[in-house]
Amino acid sequence: MIQIQQNITLFPRWMSNKSIAFYFIALLLVSAIYQQFSLPWYYMLSGSVSVFVFFHYATTLSRQWTTNKITTDKRFEKKIFWASFAIRFVWMTLIYIVFQTEYDNAFGFENGDATFYSDSAKNVASLIINGQFDEIVSIFGDMDISDIGYAIYLGLVYALTDNSIYISRIIKCLLSAWTVLFMFRIAKVNYGDNIARLTAIFCMLWPNFWYYCGTSLKETEMVFLGVLFVYMADSMLRTTNFSAWEIIPILLISAALFTFRTALALLTVLCLLFSIVMSSTKVIGWGKRIIIGFLALLLIGVTMGNSVMEHTTELVEEVQSGKQAYNMEWRARREHGNKFAKYAGKTVFAPLIFTIPFPTMIRPFEGQENQQLLNGGNYIKNILSFFVILSMFMLLFSGKWRNNLVPLSYLIGYMVILAMSQYAQSERFHQPAMPIEFMFAAYGLSQVLKGVPVYKNIGSRIKYKKWFNMWCVLMFVAAIAWGWFKLAGRGLI
């Protein structure tokens, strides 16, 4: 009989079963109430498989992969990397075949951004092959700076692979598997081996990460760069043998992110500086703070100074000008728009930012295919946000947040930016934060299982069980209410 190690963090079977049950009941109930607008069977299937696989194997693997059979980190890393790659490769290949069969292209439905990136990359690849490097700049004349980086990267891949979309997506699978591996290492340094293993299992199993490996969108690469930044910055601030040169690759990652998503790049710069200033002296001494801070400001000023100032000003002006409110008004007026959208804004999004978007379990009109396909993944996020929110309060009240500043400031900072933006409800824009969210979900779960109070006497194992049950009921109601919201707002019921 296999002996379970002491003090390991498992995803309890009762939580897994309850989460799965509430999803299936919600899906069946929504389909029965709004029968005319029920999801196609294949989206029901994708959601059902996603939810079952995630919760069932989160429980199974959190037990199997923390036993004495896999005791060393090296063995675990090898297993989690190749398992993550295999899952993504199978999904990517399957969806590639479906897209080619059903849509006669490799991009499938709602493919405007994907085809734009791919076409731009093919132009870049052609110029690279022909040695016309000086003309590459002309391609990006009308392109936003936050799209240039991915187009160049994909163009290089195309140039090396004879414009092979399939090979470019195999590389995405590898990058996503590396993301899982880096999250294990980040979580291990911050919270120990057990929480790190559960973090990696969550990241491996979340189906939304799989999905972007099967598209030509930039999310997989962007998530990888964000996690790589957190890993390298956190490692640098914790090392006792600090070298001034270590900050250069970290800032190069920030510079690369400027050409993927400007707001995320700005966040990494601020995250680094904030972590330097606020770190506990037990983690980073004052001498190291001064050296790193000076080098960071110097390199940022020399290499990205103008861009940082311009885009910071632009983001501030967007918030002050009420662009979010204008966008919500537009969403209410557009074709197939929802009249309730105009009432949404940062006051609504901010309290829900760790939880939204809710799963789309209905089909109000022809479109929103991605939201329907990813309904299961969004439900998983809804459920696990319970532990993320708890962990935020626990870290705040305990004062332990100072020991985990890089991942914490990265997550909180991005969520604040997202809550104030016009994309707070967009699943795609939540992607960069999700690996870090899963780490805090694993940490929150570990504290729940130990019965650690949120604050003073608030919280125990028994109370947490009641709270989790209540949360599942709340997410169940939210899933049904979201279906009503999408239909009633369009005057369909």
Instruction: Convert the pLDDT of each residue in 46-65 to its tens digit.
Output: 999 999 999 999 999 998 88
Instruction: Extract the runs of DSSP E, i.e. beta strands, from 372-432.
Output: none
Q: Are 30 and 362 in contact (CB under 8 A)?
A: yes
Instruction: Convert the pLDDT of each residue in 160-210 to its tens digit.
Output: 999 999 999 999 999 999 999 999 999 999 999 999 999 999 999 999 999
The residue with tokens 């949404």 is 344
Residue 316: band (very low, low, confident or very high) from pLDDT cuts 50, 70, 90? low
| 44 alpha carbon, distance to own chain's centre | 23
Residue length of the chain = 493
Q: Are 403 and 280 in contact (CB under 8 A)?
A: yes
Query: Residue 432 class from Cβ within 10 Å (0-12 exposed, 13-18 middle, 19+ buried)?
Result: buried
3-state secondary structure of 295: helix
Residue 480: band (very low, low, confident or very high) from pLDDT cuts 50, 70, 90? very high
Give the span between the Cα atoms of 48 and 138, in whole angstroms.
46
Query: Residue 376 class from Cβ within 10 Å (0-12 exposed, 13-18 middle, 19+ buried)?
Result: buried
Give the span between the Cα atoms of 493 and 40, in whole angstroms.
19
Instruction: Convert the pLDDT of each residue in 381-401 to its tens digit.
Output: 999 999 999 999 999 988 888
For 82-104, what is the mean pLDDT?
A: 96
**Angle, helix 219-238 to helix 405-420, in steps of 10 degrees:** 140
Give the span between the Cα atoms of 359 and 210, in whole angstroms.
17
Least confident window among 37-41, 164-168, 197-201, 254-258: 254-258
pLDDT in the model for residue 169? 98
Query: Residue 131 class from Cβ within 10 Å (0-12 exposed, 13-18 middle, 19+ buried)?
Result: exposed
Q: Which tops the pLDDT comparison, 340 or 117?
A: 117
pLDDT in the model for residue 6? 42
Its pTM stands at: 0.93
pLDDT in the model for residue 222? 97
pLDDT in the model for residue 100? 94
In eight-state DSSP terms, residue 455 is B
Can you state the percent helix, strand and coil of the chain, rounding each to 5?
Answer: 75, 0, 20
pLDDT in the model for residue 95? 95
Percent of the chain with pLDDT over 90: 60
Give the H/E segment covering residue 305.
helix 305-320
Give the span between the Cα atoms of 77 and 244, in whole angstroms.
29
Q: Are 140 and 202 in contact (CB under 8 A)?
A: no
- Tally of helices (H runs) and strands (E runs) in the chain: 22, 0
Q: Tell me the two tokens of residue 104.
A: 């006669």
Query: Distances in Å between the alpha carbon of 167 and those of 92, 156, 160, 172, 366?
Result: 11, 12, 10, 9, 31
pLDDT in the model for residue 73? 83
pLDDT in the model for residue 322? 56
Query: Residue 347 class from Cβ within 10 Å (0-12 exposed, 13-18 middle, 19+ buried)?
Result: exposed
Give the span between the Cα atoms of 426 and 55, in whole angstroms.
23
Q: Which tops the pLDDT comparison, 110 or 286?
A: 110
In eight-state DSSP terms, residue 401 is G
The residue with tokens 């969806």 is 95
The answer on pLDDT for 4 being more than 50 is: no
Query: Distances in Å between the alpha carbon of 210 and those of 109, 274, 344?
Result: 16, 32, 30
Q: Are 427 and 370 in contact (CB under 8 A)?
A: yes
pLDDT in the model for residue 55? 98
